[in-house]
Amino acid sequence: MSTVARRTWRCRDHGLEVGRRTLVMCILNVTPDSFSDGGRFLDPGDAVARAVHLLDDGADILDIGGESTRPGAAAVSVEEELRRVVPVVQAMHAARPGVVISVDTRRAVVAQAALDAGAAIVNDVSAGADPDMFDVVGSIGAGMVLMHMRGAPATMQDDPTYDDVVADVHAFLRERVEAATSASIGIERLAVDPGIGFGKDLHHNLALIRSLAGFTELGVVLAVGVSRKRFIGTLTGVDDPTDRVDGSVAAGVLAAANGADVVRTHDVRPTVRALAVADAIVREVGR
Ligand code: HH2
């Protein structure tokens, strides 16, 4: 029997129901260098066509990013990040006004511009490190994802070590939730994410996915991104990220079974179908 509490994730004027079934956040990287879809959607027209396709496959949230955070990724200027992201948010908001758009950024300036263009969620892999970020999110009532990352993308995979990865990530996320709520972001607007692959080795990633249920105690939405990541390649022996769909779906399903409310993915159709089955078994509901 399901023990997942149903509640509403408030993101501007959207109320996303979580707990009944697992929500799917689809990934649209408008970057030249993202590890699996870089360079494919740089043209805004191509990006919008891709987004429409992902949404038609059943995604609940569209996550648009203009900076790759893969290990060793090159830095991007603010101007370039704005130039990549804002036109796509604008075009998608115009094409599908009801769609919940998330912007994957660490910069408050980019978050503000994306929110002005119609985004409703800020997905911040640095969990609000930019001193202006909480003000930007709080003043407009946006949703926010606070993700754990060890160090910076350029160096985060250089031999990451923890005393106890699950306890360390949990303590960090608790502190960031407290910082966000102290900065006047309502708890009903927050999500946390353990940041799979962000300064973690294979065993860290597996321990975190195995222990997700403990993060639900933070009392906010729990999001997880496993899609096509390196640990899937390590476990399956598949080098090409676009060929890691089945391993990604397996990890996404187990994340959901272990308590994730939102699964972030490049491969919407297989993920939605797999979660329909998983949710029916674990939560006794259909999509
Ligand atoms: N992973 C990536 C980027 N953003 N956000 C959250 N909340 N959780 C994640 O696990 C996460 C994230 C990295 O994946 P991707 O966007 O596909 O690659 P890149 O950073 O190279 O653009």
- The per-residue pLDDT for 234 is 98
Does the residue 157 lie in any domain? yes
Q: Whose CA is nearest to atom 9 of ligand 1?
A: 225
Question: What's the gap in Å between 68 CA and the centre of ligand 1?
Answer: 8
Domain count along the chain? 1
Ligand 1 contacts CB of residue 196 (under 6 A): yes
Question: What's the gap in Å between 78 CA and the centre of ligand 1?
Answer: 18
Integer Cα distance of 57 and 96 in angstroms: 15
Tokens linked to 47: 């990006």
DSSP 120: -
Tokens linked to 36: 């699996």
Does the residue 244 lie in any domain? no
Does the residue 273 lie in any domain? no
Q: Which of 181, 176, 30 is nearest to 92 (CA)?
A: 30
Average pLDDT over residues 131-149: 98
Question: Which is catalytic among the residues 21, 106, 189, 229?
Answer: 229
Does the residue 242 lie in any domain? no
Question: What's the gap in Å between 1 CA and the centre of ligand 1?
Answer: 32
Does the residue 71 lie in any domain? yes
Share of the chain above pLDDT 70, in %: 98
Question: Torsions phi, psi of 7, nearest 5?
Answer: -155, 180
Residue pLDDT, tens place only, 60-86: 999 999 999 888 788 899 999 999 999
Ligand 1 contacts CB of residue 137 (under 6 A): no
Ligand 1 contacts CB of residue 264 (under 6 A): yes
Does the residue 150 lie in any domain? yes
Q: Which of 74, 2, 64 is nearest to 33 (CA)?
A: 74
Does the residue 277 lie in any domain? no
Q: Whose CA is nearest to atom 11 of ligand 1?
A: 225
Q: Report which ligand 1 atom has the smallest distance to the Cα of 197.
A: 10
With 80 as the cut, is the pLDDT of residue 287 above it? no
Residue pLDDT, tens place only, 194-251: 999 999 999 999 999 999 999 999 999 999 999 999 999 999 999 999 999 999 999 9
CATH number for position 49: 3.20.20.20
Burial class (CB in 10 A: 0-12, 13-18, 19+), 70: buried
Average pLDDT over residues 125-142: 98
Q: Whose CA is nearest to atom 8 of ligand 1?
A: 225
Integer Cα distance of 266 and 284 in angstroms: 26
Bridge partners, residue 8, by sequence: 17
- The per-residue pLDDT for 44 is 85
Whether the Cβ atoms of residue 66 and residue 34 lie closer than 8 Å to each other: no
Query: Which residue range is the domain that position 189 belongs to?
Result: 23-216
Does the residue 128 lie in any domain? yes
- Pocket probe for ligand 1: among 41, 104, 145, the residue whose CB has the most ligand atoms within 8 Å is 104
Round the average pLDDT of the chain to a whole number and report it: 94
Question: What's the gap in Å between 225 CA and the centre of ligand 1?
Answer: 7
Whether the Cβ atoms of residue 147 and residue 125 lie closer than 8 Å to each other: yes
Provide the CA 117 distance to its chain's centre, in angstroms. Answer: 20
Concerning whether 229 is annotated as a catalytic residue, the answer is yes
Tokens linked to 182: 């102290």
Q: Whose CA is nearest to atom 5 of ligand 1?
A: 125
